[in-house]
Copies of this chain bind each other. A is one copy, B any other.
């Protein structure tokens, strides 16, 4: 708990001035400081285990090389953490550090959290949410370069760039996968409309049918919620006591938890997956989709890529502040990725 060495300590030890230390340690020694002084300085710094005080640096330079990440509940919830992971990856690789604050879904805390971050001189801000959603962009975010990840400005005239998954294409390709295996009666457990992702995925489902020249039967689309029990009860309604010819041959779910519920229902009804029924998930939730029995075929959300893309956009804006107006597009859509595992198979012959 003893005080850290300062540049002055290093200077004393090396028998030079503070300025010399600063120059050398910042690589501007050559041509300014004698070679041998340089060595002594570096040596002294090493011995004292010197590293510059970032606070003083920030105050002096008016920039901190810190990016503040504001999370609605990414930290405390089990979801979407990899967005932050991806963002941090690129931040670190470019010499920035990220600090995260989580408001636990209390938007009233947004402003104060941002104020806190801003007061600490963050060079940029990123807002990240669990699940795609429109947000009210907190005023403070406009004071520094900022970006939105997995969410977007609810206003008609958006100020900030956002990075979101391409849900329509995701829904379409998930459906395509089933279509290609010969399924035509595909039920859709579609989440609930409190999330904008749900209707988008439904849209993709419809598009896939349309492209295939088939009619998506609207009666097969059920807004079911997002959890295991919803999947279970939804599947039961679709399958229990229904004659095989009237059953859907595949159930597509708006997330993996629904798929777990469906699998549970299928097991209870003595239906084998995938020979009697194909089940398709969405999200590729870690340690759910990959460890289910059978392992879930699913549409992976590109979380890490989204985080990377968002941070890249932000840092580009930050570092290229000179060559102005380079930024034109306000939206990045990252494609989802089909992960084929064991819960889907060819349509049963009957």
Min CB distance, A279 to chain B, in Å? Answer: 12
Residue A121 at the B interface, CB < 8 A? yes
Q: How many angstroms from the CA of A5 to the CA of B350 in the assembled complex?
A: 75
Q: Tell me if A100 and B75 are in contact (CB < 8 A).
A: yes
Q: How many angstroms from the CA of A74 to the CA of B257 in the assembled complex?
A: 21
Q: Tell me if B85 and A81 are in contact (CB < 8 A).
A: no
Q: Tell me if A293 and B229 are in contact (CB < 8 A).
A: yes
Contacting A77 at CB < 8 Å: which of B58, B98, B264, B286?
B286
Q: Tell me if A264 and B263 are in contact (CB < 8 A).
A: yes
Q: How many angstroms from the CA of A53 to the CA of B229 in the assembled complex?
A: 50
Q: How many angstroms from the CA of A260 to the CA of B66 in the assembled complex?
A: 41
Q: Tell me if A84 and B75 are in contact (CB < 8 A).
A: yes
Residue A214 at the B interface, CB < 8 A? no
Residue A216 at the B interface, CB < 8 A? no
Query: What residues of chain B lie closer than 8 Å to A143, measured between beta carbons?
Result: 1-2, 4
Q: How many angstroms from the CA of A66 to the CA of B99 in the assembled complex?
A: 11
Count of residues in A whose CB is under 8 Å from the partner chain:
62
Residue A78 at the B interface, CB < 8 A? yes
Complex interface bits, A101-124 against B, C-beta within 8 A gives 1, otherwise 0: 110100000000001101111000
Q: Tell me if B78 and A119 are in contact (CB < 8 A).
A: no
Q: Tell me if B121 and A55 are in contact (CB < 8 A).
A: yes
Q: Which of A51-94 touch B at CB < 8 Å? A: 51-56, 58-59, 64, 66, 74-79, 81-82, 84-85, 88
Q: Tell me if B76 and A84 are in contact (CB < 8 A).
A: yes
Min CB distance, A67 to chain B, in Å? Answer: 11
Q: Tell me if B78 and A85 are in contact (CB < 8 A).
A: no
Residue A185 at the B interface, CB < 8 A? no
- Most B CB atoms within 10 A — which of A88, A98, A293, A295? A293
Q: How many angstroms from the CA of A74 to the CA of B76 in the assembled complex?
A: 8
Query: What residues of chain B lie closer than 8 Å to A286, measured between beta carbons?
Result: 77-78
Residue A155 at the B interface, CB < 8 A? no
Q: Nearest B residue to A89 by beta-carbon distance?
A: B104
Q: How many angstroms from the CA of A51 to the CA of B64 in the assembled complex?
A: 18
**Given A53-B119, A81-B75, residue A257 in contact with residue B1 (CB < 8 A):** no
Query: What residues of chain B lie closer than 8 Å to A295, measured between beta carbons?
Result: 229
Q: Tell me if B88 and A82 are in contact (CB < 8 A).
A: no
Interface residues of A (CB under 8 A from B): 1-2, 4, 51-56, 58-59, 64, 66, 74-79, 81-82, 84-85, 88, 97-102, 104, 115-116, 118-121, 142-144, 227-230, 232-233, 257, 260-261, 263-264, 267-268, 270, 285-288, 291-293, 295
22 A/B residue pairs, CB under 8 Å, sorted by A: A1-B143, A1-B144, A2-B143, A4-B143, A52-B119, A54-B119, A54-B120, A54-B121, A75-B75, A76-B81, A76-B82, A78-B79, A84-B102, A88-B102, A97-B101, A98-B101, A99-B99, A228-B287, A230-B291, A233-B293, A263-B264, A270-B270
